[in-house]
Structure 1
Amino acid sequence: MIDFARRFLAAVALIGLLPVNLAIALLLRMMQGKGVLFRQLRAGYGGAPFTLVKFRTMRDLRDADGHLLDDAERVTGIGTFLRKTRLDELPSLWNVVTGDIAIVGPRPLLPETIEGLGDRGVRRGYVHPGLTGWAQVSGNTLLSLDEKIDLDLWYIDNGNWKTDLSILLSTVSVMVAGEKRKRRPV
């Protein structure tokens, strides 16, 4: 029942936010060219692979040897705005609708990152990854990978509907005010 409810809510949000998604897609198309969506293989529940969908925020710029430039050199102006406000994640509502991710849970990581985490990576797979999560509202890009994983594992061991509600409210705060490091769990 809970799975159906979250998928239904995500479908309603996706439909309700359709004008916003279309406006962002149009802006990206005008400012960055073709390919407004970014798709990447991620590890989901139990480590199962799925394709995460987001708005594209970077260009495919490479050096003379064909290697991708650093993210900071490839991210666009509108991409910076979309990332800061988390609007680049709106297409990921589709991943909630399809059941690949939950609304709240650890953010889905690359399969090779999960594999490199060993037992900690396996434990992250005990719950569905989420559109937003405890690490994302606790500093996200200001945190090391180890700090994020520790927060994810804390959520897996201690999360409940009250924690999820707190994370959702904190997500809105992060979208408006930006990232800040939190010192302790909810």
Structure 2
Amino acid sequence: MRRFQRKISFYEKYVKRGADIICAATVLLCFGWLYIIIAFLVKINLGSPIIFKQPRPGLIDSKSKQEKIFFMYKFRTMTDERDCEGKILSDEQRLTRFGRILRSTSLDELPEIVNILKGDMSLVGPRPQLVRDMVFMTDEQRMRHTARPGLSGLAQVNGRNAISWEDKLEYDLQYIKKINFWGDIKIILKTIVKVFIKKNDYEEETFIVPDFGDWLLQEGKITNEEYNVMQNYAKNLLGM
């Protein structure tokens, strides 16, 4: 098999994108009022900006063999609090009670519907991770980027943040091997159940996990030197 190439089903090639556009447009039309309410509450509780955007790796370009970097949109859930030296506090310290509620209900992810309309994302697919996570992935793990990243995915309905990085990436690889209509419908239905019915998954939704590189370092799977090299590579990709 040629690098970063796989068999694409008829559904993925000709149907999936059209279904994404129809569903995303319907959500915006039917729930525009909800976006306005949440934006107002974010403004009151956290201030501006209301929308948090972050670069994430998308589809791999067939020619360059590199992931296209796009900005993923979310409702803001953290403050900009800093310590006495002016350094930004940790995610755990900046995540407010209001922010945890948004995350536990997945309402913070509603702006990603715009990403779906733009073509950056799909309703279902491997969840887009950070660029600093991507650089630590093997070529096999990066195969997940041969599919458009999703608002929800197989890993999200099987534990999300409560499962290990290895299991999370393995679920993504399982998904891309057999992308089909009924599989996507099952994931969407399971996502709805987890968000609106099951109330015992709070920790799974809000627990802040270490970055992939940090996890690999903690597990002794990479050296400090390898860690620093790849972190610098991620910064170069982002022009930092």
Determine if the TM-score, normalized by the shorter chain, exceeds 0.5: yes
Runs of 5+ consecutive residues of structure 1 not aligned to the other structure: 182-186
- What's the counterpart of residue 141 of structure 1? 161
Query: Which residue pairs with 1:184 in the alignment?
Result: none
Q: CA deviation at 1:5?
A: 2.9
Structure 1 runs of 4+ with >6 Å offset: none
Give the equivalent residue in structure 2 for 1:157: 177
Partner of 1:126: 146
Query: Is the Cα–Cα contact under 8 Å of residues 53 and 91 in structure 1 kept in the other structure?
Result: yes
User: Partner of 1:94 in structure 2?
Assistant: 114
Q: 1:59 to 1:120 in 2, by over 3 A?
A: farther
Give distance in 2, aligned partners of 1:135 and 1:62: 33
Corresponding residue for residue 77 of structure 1: 97
Structure 2 counterpart of 1:43: 57
The farther-off stretch of 84-93 and 61-70 is: 61-70
Q: Residue deviations 1:114-151, cap 9 Å, x none?
A: 12102134201110000111111111111122211111
Distance 1:24 1:158 in 2: 36
Please tell me the root mean square deviation across aligned C-alpha atoms, in Å: 1.6
Deviation at 1:16, TM superposition (A): 1.4
Q: Distance in 2 between matches of 1:20 and 1:116?
A: 37
Which of 48, 60, 82 is the matching residue for 1:62? 82
For the residue of structure 2 that corresponds to 1:69, the secondary structure is coil
**Kept in 1: contact 2:141–2:173 (CA 8 A):** no
How far 1:165 sits from its partner (Å)? Answer: 0.8
Q: Which amino acid aligns with 1:29?
A: K
Partner of 1:14: 28
Q: Name the SS of the counterpart of 2:156 in structure 1.
A: coil
C-alpha contact 1:115 1:121 (8 A) present in aligned 2 = no
Match of 1:29 among 18, 40, 43: 43
What is the deviation of 1:157?
Answer: 1.2
Q: How many residues align?
A: 181
Q: Is the 8 A contact 1:85 1:174 kept in 2?
A: no
Q: Give the aligned residue type for 2:161.
A: T
